[in-house]
C-alpha cells in the first residue's frame, strides 16, 4: 500500500466552502449547514483504504464522544470511482449504513474540494475552530496498520480538548499517513 503524508495546510487558513451530496441522507449538504459553533472536524476518507479501515471504529467513537460537546464531524470521499469502484457513492452509503456512521459521508465527485483543502491521503484530518479557521491538521494518532500501537484518536482528542478549553493546541502537529487520494486522470 502506498504511504502518503498530509500536505499540512497552513494553520489559520479559512475552511473552503462546499456543497456536496451526502451519500447517507441523499441530500446535498453545505459547510454552513454542517459546521458547529464550537469546532468542525472535516476528514477525507474512502471505503477501501487499509489506513481508513484501521481507524473506522475510532472515527465513529470520536464523533459519539464529541458531538454532544457541540463538535461537528464531516467525512468526505474524493477518490476516482471509475478506477476505484469500491469508493462509489453506492458503496459509501453501504459502508456508512453498515458501520452506523453518526456523521455525513459526502461525495466529492469533481475532486475540487479535496484540492481546495490540499488533501493528500486517506485519512486526512482538519479541525476548524468556531470561526472556521484551521486549528489542527494531521494525524488521528500514532497507530498505523501493522505497528501494534492501539487506535485511540489521541492526537485528535488532544486538539479537540484544547479547543474546548480555549487552550493552544500542542506543536508540532504530526501529518497523517495513509493511501494517496486516487486522483482522476486529466
Give the pairing of strands 71-77 and 4-5. unpaired
Structural domain includes residue 117: yes
Range of the domain at 71: 4-180
- pLDDT one digit per residue (tens) for the chain, 186 residues: 568 888 888 999 999 999 999 999 999 999 999 999 999 999 999 999 999 999 999 999 999 999 999 999 999 999 999 999 999 999 999 999 999 999 999 999 999 999 999 999 999 999 999 999 999 999 999 999 999 999 999 999 999 999 999 999 998 999 999 999 999 987
Measure CA 38 to chain center: 17
Here the CATH number for the domain that contains residue 136 is 3.40.30.10
Count of alpha carbons within 13 angstroms of residue 173, beta-carbon side: 26
Residue 186 lies in a domain: no
Any domain includes 20: yes
Distance of CA 94 to the CA centre of its chain: 18
Provide the pLDDT for residue 1.
Answer: 53
Answer whether residue 22 is part of any domain.
yes
Q: How many domains does the chain have?
A: 1
**Contact (Cβ atoms closer than 8 angstroms) between residue 9 and residue 134:** yes
Distance, CA of 93 to CA of 95 (rounded, Å): 6
Q: Which helix (H) or strand (E) holds 20?
A: strand 19-21
Amino acid at each position: 500500500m502506498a504511504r502518503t503524508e498530509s500536505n499540512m495546510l497552513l494553520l489559520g487558513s479559512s475552511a473552503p466552502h462546499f456543497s456536496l451530496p451526502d451519500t447517507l441522507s441523499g441530500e446535498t449538504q453545505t459547510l454552513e449547514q454542517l459546521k458547529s459553533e464550537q469546532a468542525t472536524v472535516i476528514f477525507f476518507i474512502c471505503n477501501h483504504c487499509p489506513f481508513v479501515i484501521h481507524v473506522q471504529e475510532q472515527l465513529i467513537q470520536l464523533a459519539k464522544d464529541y458531538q454532544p460537546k457541540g463538535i461537528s464531524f464531516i467525512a468526505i470521499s474524493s477518490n476516482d470511482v471509475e478506477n476505484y469502484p469500491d469508493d462509489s457513492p453506492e458503496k459509501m452509503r453501504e459502508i456508512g449504513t453498515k458501520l452506523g456512521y453518526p456523521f455525513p459521508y459526502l461525495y466529492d465527485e469533481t475532486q475540487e474540494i479535496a484540492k481546495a483543502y490540499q488533501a493528500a491521503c486517506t485519512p486526512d484530518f482538519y479541525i476548524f475552530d468556531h470561526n472556521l479557521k484551521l486549528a489542527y491538521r494531521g494525524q488521528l494518532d500514532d497507530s498505523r496498520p501493522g505497528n501494534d500501537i492501539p487506535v485511540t484518536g489521541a492526537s485528535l482528542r488532544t486538539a479537540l480538548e484544547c479547543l474546548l478549553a480555549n487552550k493552544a493546541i500542542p506543536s508540532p502537529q504530526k501529518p497523517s499517513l495513509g493511501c494517496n487520494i486516487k486522483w482522476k486522470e486529466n
